[in-house]
Amino acid sequence: MPDLHLTRLDPPGASGVVLLLHGGKPTSTRPVDGRSASWRRMAALQRDLAPGYAGHGLATWLLRYSHRGWNGDGGGPVADARAALDEVRRAHGTVPVVLLGHSMGARTGSRVADDPSVRGLVALAPWFERGDPVAALAGRHLRAAHGRADRITSARRTREFVGRAERLAASVAFTDMGPVGHYLLRRVDAWRAFALDAVVDIAGRSAGLDRK
């Protein structure tokens, strides 16, 4: 099992977990450390969203991958994410988990959504390629948001991925964030609101949590 680095914000009596998955690079074997812009971006998002999630009984965990890159098959980040889901079960039992991923984190989430604890994936400016598998999303909920000015990843490919997943997912939705780019730096409040509402919606569908 890979060495895990998790930033955990656990409210008392948590009834579910949000697992945040940060972005990365197509190819890199460099370790992810506290200076990583991708990790720091998600750490800031975790701090912003954790109080709102806690109000719905959700713990907020942020995974730091062992290495920065997807490296051809995604084996590294996928293995890290699966190990993190095992750790959730050790800490909280079989509570429902919602994955919240940005860029490569969303791609990673789409590969591990078949874990028995996962109820759905919320994808922020995701990195999906043509032909990426959707089978892991069978019976899960998918919410994706993408800006039309993104030049790092493709909103069109996200729409295509959502369309393919619709045939087997429990539910899907795509949100157009308007003329914004990849790094969640414009319309920050709108990105946060989407992430909060989409996660709580999926958790509520799965666990009967009351929306507040």
Is 7 contained in some domain?
A: no
Q: What is the pLDDT of residues 187-199, one digit of tens each?
A: 999 999 999 999 9
11-43: per-residue pLDDT in tens?
999 999 999 999 999 999 999 999 999 999 999
Of residues 76, 129, 71, 73, the one with CA closest to residue 103: 129
Find residue 78's DSSP bridge partners.
Answer: none
What digits encode the pLDDT tens for the residues 130-165?
999 999 999 999 999 999 999 999 999 999 999 999
Q: For the segment 92-108, what is each residue's pLDDT rounded down to a tens digit? A: 999 999 999 999 999 99
The confidence score (pLDDT) of residue 171 equals: 97
CATH number at residue 145: 3.40.50.1820
Rounded Cα gap, residues 110 and 120, in angstroms: 9
pLDDT at 75 over 90: yes
In a domain, 157, yes or no: yes
**Confidence check: pLDDT of 6 > 90:** yes
Res 78: pLDDT:
98
Kindly tell me if the per-residue pLDDT of 119 is higher than 90: yes
Helix (H) or strand (E) holding 134: none
Domain count, the chain: 1
Q: Is residue 67 part of a domain?
A: yes
5 located within any domain? no
pTM of the complete model: 0.95
- pLDDT given for residue 210 in this prediction: 37
pLDDT for residue 212 is more than 80: no
Question: Which structural domain range is residue 138 located in?
Answer: 15-207
Q: What is the reported pLDDT for 205?
A: 84
Q: What is the pLDDT of residue 207?
A: 57
Question: ∠ CA 17-170-11 to the nearest 5 degrees?
Answer: 10
So what's the pLDDT on residue 185?
A: 94
Tell me, rounded to whole angstroms, the distance of Cα 32 from its chain centroid.
17
* Any domain includes 9: no
Which amino acid is located at 91 in the chain? A
Residue 2 pLDDT exceeds 80: no
> Residue 69: inside a domain, yes or no?
yes
What residues contact 127, with CB distance under 8 A and at least 6 apart? 23, 103, 104, 106, 107, 152, 153
Is pLDDT larger for residue 165 or for residue 205?
165
Asked whether residue 116 is domain-assigned, the answer is: yes
- Residue 17 sits at the vertex; the CA angle it makes with 102 and 61, to the nearest 5 degrees, is 55
* 212 belongs to a structural domain: no
Helix or strand run (H / E) with residue 7: strand 5-9
Mean pLDDT (the chain) is 95
Residue 9: other Cβ atoms inside 10 A? 18
